[in-house]
Amino acid sequence: MHKPEEKYCPKCNELFICNAGDIDNCQCSTISLNDDVRHFLAKTNFDCLCNNCLKKISATVEATKGLSFPTEKEMFVEGVHYYLENGNWVFTELYHLLRGYCCKSGCRHCVYGFKKN
Protein backbone atom coordinates (compact mmCIF):
# COMPACT_ATOMS: atom_id res chain seq x y z
CA MET A 1 0.00 0.00 0.00
CA HIS A 2 1.28 3.45 -0.90
CA LYS A 3 1.77 6.00 1.84
CA PRO A 4 0.57 9.57 1.46
CA GLU A 5 3.32 11.76 0.07
CA GLU A 6 4.09 15.42 -0.08
CA LYS A 7 3.99 16.79 -3.61
CA TYR A 8 4.26 20.17 -5.21
CA CYS A 9 1.37 21.06 -7.47
CA PRO A 10 2.74 21.21 -11.04
CA LYS A 11 0.45 24.14 -11.83
CA CYS A 12 0.86 26.48 -8.82
CA ASN A 13 3.84 24.91 -7.03
CA GLU A 14 1.98 24.69 -3.67
CA LEU A 15 2.83 21.81 -1.36
CA PHE A 16 0.00 19.31 -0.71
CA ILE A 17 -0.48 15.75 0.50
CA CYS A 18 -1.24 13.21 -2.23
CA ASN A 19 -2.71 9.84 -1.33
CA ALA A 20 -3.00 8.32 -4.81
CA GLY A 21 -2.43 4.87 -3.31
CA ASP A 22 -5.72 5.24 -1.41
CA ILE A 23 -7.64 7.50 -3.77
CA ASP A 24 -10.83 7.42 -1.66
CA ASN A 25 -8.87 9.16 1.10
CA CYS A 26 -6.94 11.56 -1.13
CA GLN A 27 -7.54 15.32 -1.01
CA CYS A 28 -8.64 15.29 -4.64
CA SER A 29 -11.54 12.93 -3.91
CA THR A 30 -13.32 15.82 -2.17
CA ILE A 31 -13.61 17.72 -5.47
CA SER A 32 -16.51 16.84 -7.75
CA LEU A 33 -15.41 16.97 -11.38
CA ASN A 34 -17.85 16.62 -14.26
CA ASP A 35 -17.13 14.64 -17.42
CA ASP A 36 -15.96 17.73 -19.37
CA VAL A 37 -13.34 18.48 -16.73
CA ARG A 38 -12.24 14.84 -16.54
CA HIS A 39 -11.94 14.74 -20.34
CA PHE A 40 -9.80 17.89 -20.30
CA LEU A 41 -7.57 16.59 -17.48
CA ALA A 42 -7.02 13.34 -19.39
CA LYS A 43 -5.44 15.39 -22.20
CA THR A 44 -3.00 17.21 -19.91
CA ASN A 45 0.56 16.42 -18.86
CA PHE A 46 -0.18 17.12 -15.19
CA ASP A 47 0.50 14.65 -12.43
CA CYS A 48 -1.60 15.13 -9.30
CA LEU A 49 -2.92 18.66 -8.76
CA CYS A 50 -3.83 20.47 -5.54
CA ASN A 51 -7.49 21.08 -4.72
CA ASN A 52 -7.26 24.79 -5.49
CA CYS A 53 -5.98 24.14 -9.01
CA LEU A 54 -8.59 21.43 -9.57
CA LYS A 55 -11.29 23.92 -8.58
CA LYS A 56 -9.84 26.62 -10.85
CA ILE A 57 -9.55 24.23 -13.80
CA SER A 58 -13.12 23.06 -13.24
CA ALA A 59 -14.39 26.66 -13.20
CA THR A 60 -12.38 27.54 -16.31
CA VAL A 61 -13.67 24.53 -18.25
CA GLU A 62 -17.23 25.38 -17.19
CA ALA A 63 -16.74 29.02 -18.26
CA THR A 64 -15.86 27.93 -21.81
CA LYS A 65 -19.20 26.25 -22.42
CA GLY A 66 -20.88 27.97 -25.32
CA LEU A 67 -17.65 29.62 -26.48
CA SER A 68 -16.02 28.63 -29.73
CA PHE A 69 -12.45 28.66 -30.92
CA PRO A 70 -11.71 31.70 -33.10
CA THR A 71 -10.98 30.52 -36.64
CA GLU A 72 -10.66 33.90 -38.34
CA LYS A 73 -8.62 36.96 -37.38
CA GLU A 74 -11.76 39.04 -36.88
CA MET A 75 -12.98 36.61 -34.21
CA PHE A 76 -9.98 37.15 -31.91
CA VAL A 77 -10.58 39.47 -28.97
CA GLU A 78 -7.55 41.18 -27.47
CA GLY A 79 -7.40 40.52 -23.72
CA VAL A 80 -9.53 37.39 -24.11
CA HIS A 81 -7.76 35.22 -26.68
CA TYR A 82 -4.42 37.02 -26.74
CA TYR A 83 -2.52 40.08 -25.59
CA LEU A 84 0.25 42.02 -27.27
CA GLU A 85 3.80 41.94 -25.96
CA ASN A 86 6.54 43.73 -27.90
CA GLY A 87 4.32 43.61 -30.98
CA ASN A 88 3.77 39.85 -30.73
CA TRP A 89 0.55 38.01 -29.98
CA VAL A 90 0.71 35.97 -26.76
CA PHE A 91 -2.15 33.50 -26.54
CA THR A 92 -4.05 33.18 -23.27
CA GLU A 93 -5.04 30.06 -21.33
CA LEU A 94 -8.57 30.48 -22.67
CA TYR A 95 -7.30 30.41 -26.25
CA HIS A 96 -5.38 27.18 -25.60
CA LEU A 97 -8.33 25.59 -23.83
CA LEU A 98 -10.71 26.48 -26.66
CA ARG A 99 -8.24 25.06 -29.20
CA GLY A 100 -8.75 21.69 -27.51
CA TYR A 101 -5.27 20.17 -27.68
CA CYS A 102 -1.65 20.85 -26.81
CA CYS A 103 0.68 21.72 -29.69
CA LYS A 104 3.73 20.79 -27.54
CA SER A 105 5.51 24.04 -28.42
CA GLY A 106 6.02 25.08 -24.79
CA CYS A 107 3.55 27.98 -24.93
CA ARG A 108 3.75 30.43 -22.02
CA HIS A 109 0.11 29.95 -21.04
CA CYS A 110 -0.29 26.27 -21.88
CA VAL A 111 -3.26 24.86 -19.96
CA TYR A 112 -2.10 21.32 -20.68
CA GLY A 113 0.99 21.50 -18.48
CA PHE A 114 3.49 20.87 -21.28
CA LYS A 115 6.96 22.24 -20.68
CA LYS A 116 9.89 21.93 -23.06
CA ASN A 117 13.01 20.50 -21.48
| pLDDT of 103 | 93
Rg (C-alpha) for the chain, rounded Å, is 16
Burial 63-85 (b: 16+ CB within 10 A, else e): eeeeeeebeeeeeeeeeebbeee
| pLDDT of 1 | 56
| pLDDT of 38 | 93
Chain length of the chain: 117
| pLDDT of 116 | 81
70: pLDDT strictly greater than 90: yes
Mean pLDDT of the chain: 91
User: Would you give the distance in Å from CA 70 to the centre of its chain?
Assistant: 19
Mean pLDDT, residues 58-85: 94
Q: How would residue 104 be classed by pLDDT, with cut points 50, 70 and 90?
A: very high
Strands 82-85 and 88-91 turn out to be antiparallel
Whether residue 93 contacts residue 79, with contact meaning beta carbons closer than 8 Å, is answered with: no
